[in-house]
């Protein structure tokens, strides 16, 4: 099973969110991720914001992978937010972003974090998968899409 499928449940997915800025998106992702790891949203938000200050996590083609390593994080977690309207996010292609996959991992998860990012980038880098995720009508539909994905090369061992 693809590790993202193992990490994303329907309650971790919000579709067509009415968010109009990068700050609003990061706050929403932080709230979802904080619930998953049992931390305060402000703690998760600080980690995501710190990483974004190093450079935008937008990949282009309307997708971004905001992520952070957190000392207070006991396990990896993921959240997916699709905005109703794309928001400016500093993407390399200059296009606004509407599909955000947020990730947090424990601070000590160096190689594991990189492998998870590579898995996420491979998923969102695929044009047909992006198009499918952009048209899902429900969180359950997103989960069903993820369930059809093969194990990603280099994915974290489970």
Catalytic residue numbers, as ranges: 67
DSSP string of 80-122, one letter each residue: EEEEEEEE----TT---EEEEEEEEEETT-HHHHHHHHHHHHH
Q: How many residues does the chain have?
A: 158
4 close to 78: Cβ distance less than 8 angstroms: yes
105 to each of 44, 70, 81, 117, 134, how far by Cα in Å? 11, 6, 18, 10, 25
Residue 3 pairs with which residues in a beta bridge? Answer: none
Q: Burial level of 24, CB count in 10 A (0-12/13-18/19+)?
A: middle
Phi and psi (nearest 5°) for 91? Answer: -70, 150
């Amino acid at each position: 099973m693809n590790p993202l499928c193992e990490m994303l449940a329907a309650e971790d997915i919000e579709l067509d969110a009415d968010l109009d800025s990068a700050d609003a998106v990061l706050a929403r992702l932080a709230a979802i991720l904080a619930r998953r790891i049992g931390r305060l949203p402000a703690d998760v938000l600080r980690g995501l914001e710190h990483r974004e200050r190093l450079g935008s996590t937008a990949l282009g083609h309307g997708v971004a992978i905001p992520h952070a390593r957190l000392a207070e994080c006991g396990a990896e977690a993921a959240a997916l937010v699709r905005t109703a309207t794309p928001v400016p996010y500093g993407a390399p292609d200059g296009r606004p972003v509407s599909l955000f996959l947020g990730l947090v991992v424990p601070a000590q998860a160096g190689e594991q974090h990189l492998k998870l990012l590579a898995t996420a980038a491979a998923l969102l880098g695929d044009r047909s998968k992006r198009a499918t995720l952009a048209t899902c009508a429900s969180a359950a539909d997103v989960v069903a899409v993820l369930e059809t994905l093969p194990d990603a090369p280099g994915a974290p061992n489970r």
